[in-house]
Structure 1
């Protein structure tokens, strides 16, 4: 995440050495930023399920931790230095960092699908370092200035919100649509809230956890349904149609659980011509009733991160259409990051934040006066 040199300044960093082996250590502070970069002082980083999975398993799919890697990618920060070509940011600006940097020259990038760039450098995805470090350099074009009224904590959550925005864009949710959200974890809740902001009329959320569903209701779900672990997906689909969707199928299903049974449910509950977006990470191989989807022209769409979604996400937060604050359930200092990961691995809380830097540390370490 940027060139480095030796420095006596404190750059505390959380490093994953191998599966289940986390260490806090000092890393060199980055050099002066390149012409189109900024140097950031990391303020807040949210823990994502992928961070926990790398910690617990050492890999996600084909991405394998083979050398020490800094974790974290849901990031807000304060600009402390700017490259000579950077005009839209200045020291003291609060920003949300979009931490996937594409090549910008391949066919996919030129077509605007930069999230699919095969040369993408995405934070905390092997072999690239993440942002649970106090200082790093980053391209200025991927830093979004936070307006007054949007906090640095909310700025860190723009990253998972961007996933939800991309999901709803892929689903082409429109005014009056009915939506089923499978899974009431953090991303599922964000998808629910974003679907509402996109104009969805009736939103039903399913999960096996009653407490999560209670929270989903508090955040605006029209209805919630507890999934019984011994209930076949086909039976649940029939129950959902009968009890919640007027005997008809659902316009859009946002599958956020990553469970194979939820994909079977999605196909059985979708209306003819409906849309399923696979937000959650599915197993490598799944068994689904594909013929039903084919004969009913149900669109099944994949989702990989996001593209061009930060401005929309930021606008929804600034305007009040999305309130991220209730999702924040725990806060830890960087020095206590391991405790934060342990809490997250137990399935406790919704969004767990790690604070890497506060304003007093900025002033003490850098002689920096004020955050704009």
Structure 2
């Protein structure tokens, strides 16, 4: 079976990968086999391609990319009770140790032993089929497309962040960054009850896309406008109740308290490769609460439900789709970071 393989930094190939075929030849009693349909290109996939590592996770051997996915169940294990052959599904890509302390406490996403697709040395799912536990595989309603379902994984980050923020109806929020995670965080904040969300970026095209998502979203080009000068007048001088940092930029991260209201909450989403400046004084005088998130936990069914009900619409974020045979080209385009694109996806042959 052909897979999209990161051979090493800056080298991708579409080729057979016998090792994964052998690894998944036998189906576990509580596993399902899934024929892949749509896989999103994530920034982490691109970063492994262009840098060969993310922090301590280093690509030391060829690795299949991809972790944002949807597909169809084609085989079920003997003890699978919730899913059937033919079910359309999306999959949560991180598998924790069920016996770990983190899992027992309900924080399975921070289990040090978690095995996450396309995080070395674990292979991803840009390949025809995969085997996955039933417990981390979720049936799709008929009105949720494969493309939308492949957006559940990034959406889960935004929903987890909004949950951590403890948003109250009528809150005002700021999202720093209009990339895919910033966009889904803005949508999640609105779904959680925010009356208004200010979304910042330097790319005007991305801000234009953000503005189309909801009349409650106010785009702010921080290259031309001062964020505080926009937020304070719009909130009667009080500031934003929640600030989400979704850029991963050290410069943006050091400004998180500036638009924040007293008693407000900052949620750190964007990964920072190095230590960042932290204005302890600005946090103190606001009695700011600071939350950090790592991926997500317990939110995939919520995301599917919101897509089905229309509470969240991710379709405008899917800006380009490639055939599987064009996967290498797709990654080259994604690596160039086109300003008009939010989420690129790859469709596999059916």
Give me the TM-score of the superposition, normalised by structure 2: 0.95
Q: What is the alpha-carbon distance in structure 2 between the residues aligned to residue 268 and residue 237 of structure 1?
A: 9
Q: Look up the match of 1:322.
A: 312
Equivalent residue for 1:223?
A: 218
Where do 5+ consecutive residues of structure 1 fail to align? 1-10, 359-372
Say whether the 8 Å CA contact 2:232–2:239 is kept in structure 1.
Answer: no
Cα distance in 1 for residues equivalent to 2:208 and 2:253? 23
Match of residue 164 from structure 1: 158
Map of 1:263 onto structure 2: 253
User: Contact 1:41–1:357 (CA<8 Å) still a contact in 2?
Assistant: no
Alignment partners' CA distance in 1, 2:329 and 2:175: 30
Residues 103-136 of structure 1: CA deviation (Å, up to 9, x unaligned): 0111110111000011100000011000111111
Match of 1:365 in 2: none
The residue aligned with 2:266 is 276
Equivalent position to 2:140, from 142, 146, 153: 146
**Structure 1 segment 1-372 matched on structure 2, within 5 A:** 11-28=1-18, 29=21, 30-220=24-214, 221-228=216-223, 236-348=226-338, 349-358=341-350
In 2, the alpha carbon distance for the partners of 1:286 and 1:242 equals 25
Q: Is the 8 A contact 2:55 2:273 kept in 1?
A: no
- Tell me the TM-score normalised to structure 1 length: 0.89
Partner Cα distance (1:305, 1:166) in 2:
8
Shift of 1:288: 2.5
Tell me the secondary structure at the aligned position of residue 159 of structure 2.
helix
Q: SS of 2:258's equivalent?
A: helix
In structure 2, the gaps of 5 or more residues are none
CA distance in 2, matches of 1:93, 1:113: 28
Shift of 1:237: 4.8
> Structure 2 CA distance, aligned partners of 1:295 and 1:350?
37
Aligned residues: 343
Aligned to 1:7: none
Which secondary structure does the structure 2 equivalent of 1:305 belong to? coil
- What's the CA shift for 1:150? 0.7
In 2, the alpha carbon distance for the partners of 1:78 and 1:329 equals 23
CA distance in 1, matches of 2:109, 2:217: 32
Query: How far has the Cα of 1:294 moved from its partner?
Result: 2.5
Check whether the contact 1:240–1:269 (CA below 8 A) recurs between aligned residues: no
SS of equivalent residue, structure 1 residue 211? helix
Native 8 Å contact 2:5 2:63 kept in 1: yes
